[in-house]
């Protein structure tokens, strides 16, 4: 069992937790993820390592309540425990040698982008961060990003905070001014990453995206997290859990990934509603 050390709501649907997992904390690097189960009958879900304290032996996760498992996890309180917490999994992000990087985060994807921005900042790189949300109510991690960024652009779709528009607005402005980067790293909803890639394509700046499709075992055995890349005009199949989660954004078939990502949406909603109804009945 893995004890929940702390729990902090970041907005109405996003929660930050610190989990006591010393072996994971000792090995985890930016870009990697864990797979957890809330209880012995629970499903396995992947969550990116948002940070870790090696001395305290704790791992930070940030998750959005979207389905039954995240609903159950969110009902846990500090001092309680979860069943399984396996990791670190996946290939760490390749950050060595980068001196001038643009980090683009959208929504809860900012939780994945933050440890990369922090690692680059600590390595002495110049970090430009662009974070975007639908509205002010959904804003998370602004102060954390500000602390590790040389420049920070905060965007909201409705203009209720920061600047109005999506994350491509400041990106396109920077490109128009002749700004260049060693690399652009985009993490967020698939549609956001697709448009960031298309905005960056004319510049030729390397663009990395973090892919987080459905995963089950985290070892490449189930095939649920498969992605199609296009290299030299030919389709190539990769698995996000063992080959990623980072991929060359110019190669990713985003349309296929978005289609696959909606396959279980109704099932997830129904499962979450069953959990909520169960708690209402017990209450």
State mean pLDDT over 83-100.
93
Q: Are 55 and 19 in contact (CB under 8 A)?
A: no
Delimit the domains of the chain by residue range. Answer: 2-89, 93-209, 211-263
Q: Give the Cα separation of 120 and 18 in Å (integer).
A: 22
Q: How far apart are CA 18 and CA 49, in angstroms?
A: 10
C-alpha 152/C-alpha 112 separation (Å) is: 16
CATH number of 93-209, picked from 3.40.50.80, 2.40.37.10, 3.65.10.10, 3.40.30.10: 3.40.50.80
Alpha-helical (H) ranges within 203-250 are 240-243
pLDDT over 60 at 275, yes or no: no
Confidence of residue 227 (pLDDT cuts 50, 70, 90): confident
Identify which has the larger pLDDT, 174 or 274: 174
Does the structure show a pLDDT above 80 at 91?
A: yes
Helical ranges in 21-129 per DSSP H? 22-27, 68-74, 110-122
Q: Is the Cβ–Cβ distance between 105 and 185 less than 8 Å?
A: no
pLDDT of residue 265: 57
- What pTM was estimated for this model as a whole? 0.86
pLDDT at 71: 92
* CATH class assigned to 2-89: mainly beta
Helix (H, G, I), strand (E, B) or coil at 53: strand
Torsion of CA 246, 95, 85, 218, to 10 degrees: 30
pLDDT number for residue 216: 73
| Average pLDDT of the chain to the nearest whole number | 89
pLDDT at 18: 97
């Amino acid at each position: 069992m893995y004890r929940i050390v702390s729990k902090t709501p970041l907005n109405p649907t996003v929660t930050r937790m610190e989990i006591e997992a010393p072996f994971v904390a000792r090995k985890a690097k930016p870009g990697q993820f864990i797979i957890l189960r809330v209880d012995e009958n629970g499903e396995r879900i992947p969550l990116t390592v948002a940070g870790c304290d090696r001395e305290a032996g704790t791992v930070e996760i940030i998750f959005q309540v979207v389905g039954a498992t995240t609903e159950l996890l969110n009902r846990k309180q500090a001092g309680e425990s979860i069943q399984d917490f396996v990791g670190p999994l996946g290939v760490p992000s390749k950050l060595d040698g980068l001196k001038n990087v643009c980090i683009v985060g959208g929504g809860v994807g900012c939780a994945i982008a933050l440890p990369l921005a922090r690692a680059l900042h600590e390595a002495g790189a110049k970090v430009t961060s662009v974070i975007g949300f639908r509205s002010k109510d959904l804003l998370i991690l602004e102060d954390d990003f500000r602390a590790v960024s040389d420049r920070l652009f905060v965007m909201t779709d409705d203009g209720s905070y920061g600047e109005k528009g999506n994350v491509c607005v400041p990106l396109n402005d920077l490109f128009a001014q002749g700004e260049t980067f060693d690399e652009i790293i985009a993490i967020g909803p698939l549609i956001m990453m697709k448009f960031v890639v298309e905005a960056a394509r004319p510049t030729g700046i390397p663009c990395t995206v973090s892919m987080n499709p459905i995963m089950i075992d985290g070892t490449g055995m189930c095939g649920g997290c498969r992605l199609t890349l296009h290299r030299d005009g030919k389709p190539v199949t990769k698995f996000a859990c063992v080959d990623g989660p980072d991929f060359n954004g110019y190669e990713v078939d985003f349309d296929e990934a978005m289609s696959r990502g909606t396959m279980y949406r109704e099932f997830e909603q129904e499962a979450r509603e069953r959990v909520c109804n169960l708690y209402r009945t017990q209450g």
